Structure 1
Amino acid sequence: MSTITDVIDRMREIDRGLDPHDGVACFNRVYLKVTERIAHELTTGLFADPPFVERLDVDFAGFYLAAVDAAVAGRPARPWRPLFAARADRSVWSLQFALAGMNAHINHDLALAVITTCTDTGRDPDDDPIHHDFLRINEILEDVESEVRRSLEPALLKLATKDAETLKHIVGTFCVARARDLSWCSLQTLWPQRGHPFLYDNSVALLAQTVSVMGRLLVTPVTDVPDLWDLDGD
């Protein structure tokens, strides 16, 4: 894939091929919304360097799409395993699946995607306006995350108090803005290590392990809610 349009087409293809209640489908729908928003904003002047943002978006999406392909063979990357392992569990809410995907993709993949894009384009992460545009994407993600969380509120009213509190505690452990801040910190740690394979590979492996633990927390079963799954609250 070479353009953000290619990425959107592939995500739509994935969506058409999955049961709407599949945990991966829940994440894919949210990611598709974000990617469509970014594609639109590439033409509005929101970003200072649209070509770099598009290239980063394509590289970033590649990690998720590779995880989807690897899951077919039963070998998803470690940060993605909690989502793929729990994808058919009807006691896990759609929002939990969406956040588990964001956890794997942002906390692990994002730093590696920035390294890939910067390396391939001969840039440094500290070059202007890379971090500026990185923060602009935060605004889009926060809007979509808030929309998804709001869609959960009517369903929460139908839950027993104990189950509702458990769910709110689980989903409250993840915040997109905080995750992206942490991913930038991971990038700043990994970037100087990229010329030292042993050190770099061990740092990435430790990051993957940490993200996987968080992913397992996010897909903790809450209750069986077959009628309350839709991310849009339908």
Structure 2
Amino acid sequence: MVQIEQSAEPAGPGIPVAQTLAGIERMRAWGGRWPGGDGVGVFNEAYLAVAQTVRGQAGRGVPRDGETADTLEERLMERYLWAVDTAEAGGRLPECWRPLLPRRRHPGVRPVQFALGGLHAHVAHDLALAVVDACRTRDCAPAELEGEFERVGDLLALLEERIRDDLTPGPDLLRIADPLTHLVSSWSLERAREAAWSAARVLWQLRGLPSLAEEFRQRTDAGAGLVVRLWLTPCR
């Protein structure tokens, strides 16, 4: 079994649909509590829209490829909920989520930077661990979750599209010489997803070597954290 440090492990072995709905309500409450322009709040608002899409799929109750209520989408959402809860409690976060906290109200960091920085943390680190979580619960290899992984990818693509459409400044503000132009154009969700899938497969193969698995997870987390810090470079 892959063992990861306590700070990066959400509590509880499963995520029933009822818990997912409760999680969506928590995200709504967070959005109402955080001030406008809050960096984590910017990502939360965009992610909430996608979480509601997940809820709609679960609410139809139609099985897909033998899935249970404990889907990969729900595993992934739990990772984000845990990160926010840990931050609110003053706990130790994975490196990829830490940069969002001290800069969440920085006037020089634009909303799209916060949103895409949060998306990168969620994909580059959380997605791989969510796959491992699901494999561990179902006692299956990552290959058996490939269909679900692709559906999660579709949802993440919707999230990226929403972020870019709603938060990227218009052409009158976003000029070729603007550093934000280079930041937005240099990141690829597809490449981040491919790296997450590879990381999940490696972690699963290392499940009998917990120390090495944890070292690999930490390296993955550190790499994701570096990219998030670059995303949050002030551009004003």
TM-score range for the pair, normalised by the shorter chain length:
0.7 to 0.9
Question: Percent identity, aligned pairs only?
Answer: 32
Tell me what 1:138 maps to.
Answer: 153
Residues 113-148 of structure 1, C-alpha deviations (whole Å, 9 max, x = no match): 111111112222112xx2112112222322332232
Cα RMSD for the two superposed structures? 2.2
8 Å contact kept, 2:46–2:115: yes
Tell me what 2:86 maps to.
Answer: 70
User: Does residue 163 of structure 2 align to residue 148 of structure 1?
Assistant: yes
CA-CA distance at 1:217 after TM superposition: 0.6
Task: Tell me the distance in 2 between the aligned counterparts of 1:47 and 1:148.
Answer: 28
Moved more, 187-196 or 137-146: 137-146
State the structure with bigger RCO (CA 8 A, min sep 6), 1 or 2.
2
Tell me what 2:107 maps to.
Answer: 90
Tell me what 2:188 maps to.
Answer: 175
Task: Tell me the distance in 1 between the aligned counterparts of 2:176 and 2:141.
Answer: 49
Return the TM-score normalized by structure 1.
0.84
CA-CA distance at 1:211 after TM superposition: 0.6
SS of residue in 2 equivalent to 1:155: coil
CA-CA distance at 1:47 after TM superposition: 4.6
Tell me what 1:158 maps to.
Answer: 173
8 Å contact kept, 2:47–2:159: no
Q: Which consecutive residues of structure 2, in runs of 5 or more, have no partner in the other structure?
A: 1-14
Q: Which consecutive residues of structure 1, in runs of 5 or more, have no partner in the other structure?
A: 224-234
How many corresponding residue pairs?
Answer: 218
Partner amino acid for 1:121? Answer: R
Tell me what 2:215 maps to.
Answer: 202
Structure 1 45/172 Cα, relative in aligned 2: closer, same or farther at 3 Å? farther
Task: Tell me the distance in 2 between the aligned counterparts of 1:20 and 1:110.
Answer: 28
Partner amino acid for 2:219? Answer: L
Return the TM-score normalized by structure 2.
0.83
8 Å contact kept, 1:99–1:218: yes
CA-CA distance at 1:81 after TM superposition: 0.9
8 Å contact kept, 1:21–1:94: yes
Tell me what 2:134 maps to.
Answer: 117
Tell me what 1:220 maps to.
Answer: 233
Structure 1 203/46 Cα, relative in aligned 2: closer, same or farther at 3 Å? same
Task: Tell me the distance in 2 between the aligned counterparts of 1:144 and 1:105.
Answer: 11
Task: Tell me the distance in 1 between the aligned counterparts of 2:114 and 2:169.
Answer: 18
Higher helix residue share: 1
CA-CA distance at 1:17 after TM superposition: 1.4
8 Å contact kept, 1:96–1:218: yes
Moved more, 152-161 or 14-23: 152-161
